[in-house]
Amino acid sequence: MLSRVENRVLALAGIAQCSKLVQDIARRGRASEDAKRETLARIIVFDESDPEIALGGIESNALGLADLMVKRADPFLMERVRTITAIVNLERFLCKQPQVIRTLRSRLETFAEWLGSSDIDSPTSVDELAAIYTETLSHLGPRIMIKGEQSYLEDQRNVNEIRALLLAGVRCAYVFSELGGKKWHLFLNRKSTASIAGQLYPYPRSL
């Protein structure tokens, strides 16, 4: 069982993973299919008291954990950090709107019933998640601005994938907040966060 701090880093990795996938779609027109599916799946995990389970487990957050461990110069890192910060801010706006929370929960429960055993990353599912994001979250605060190649950002399928992933990011941000996570953890605890992410990372690494 993970400690509270480890779960908090895992939740932050979940947000970071959403940010990384969004950036990949916006700048490359594609992102890891496995990571997208695993990331979207956590949206419909309801009433789970174990943060690790709510977040989908360690392996399904490997992309985000790897991003928290990055030490090399990355010209797009701050872009991802801005998206992470925006997602955390959006979750804070949501917490101040109980009616929106109730509506969001109801929409997601209806979506989960409709989904059944179907694929959560199918185009139809992604379209529905994007619609839920647009109708419940997109107007709560300043709009999250995503940079990328215009041709990719004009593709409606890419736009819907980005919106669905931002919804997943808010889910992770909720867990992060419940575990005491604050925006300053993104900056002041950078070394400690990278160290814990490295300990949690589930795959062998080249040195």
Interatomic CA distance for residues 174 and 199, integer angstroms: 23
Interatomic CA distance for residues 118 and 125, integer angstroms: 9
For residue 7, count CB atoms less than 10 angstroms from its CB and return exposed for 0-12, middle for 13-18, buried for 19 or more.
buried
pLDDT of residue 11: 97
Interatomic CA distance for residues 134 and 160, integer angstroms: 10
User: Which residues, 6 or more positions from 96, have their beta carbon under 8 angstroms from its beta carbon?
Assistant: none
pLDDT of residue 206: 58
Judge whether 69 and 197 are in contact, CB under 8 Å.
Answer: yes
Residue 197 CB: number of other CB atoms within 10 A? 23
Q: What is the mean pLDDT of each run of 10 residues along the chain (207 residues)?
A: 95 98 98 97 94 96 94 84 95 96 97 92 97 95 92 97 98 96 82 93 76
Angle between helices 33-41 and 4-28 (to 10 degrees): 130
Domain boundaries 4-200, CATH class = mainly alpha
Q: Where are the domains of the chain?
A: 4-200
pLDDT of residue 15: 98
pLDDT of residue 116: 86
Judge whether 10 and 200 are in contact, CB under 8 Å.
Answer: yes
pLDDT of residue 187: 77
Cα–chain-centroid distance for residue 90? 12
Judge whether 33 and 158 are in contact, CB under 8 Å.
Answer: no
Written as one letter, the residue type at 48 is E
pLDDT of residue 190: 85
**Runs of H (alpha helix) within 29-50:** 33-41
Written as one letter, the residue type at 171 is R
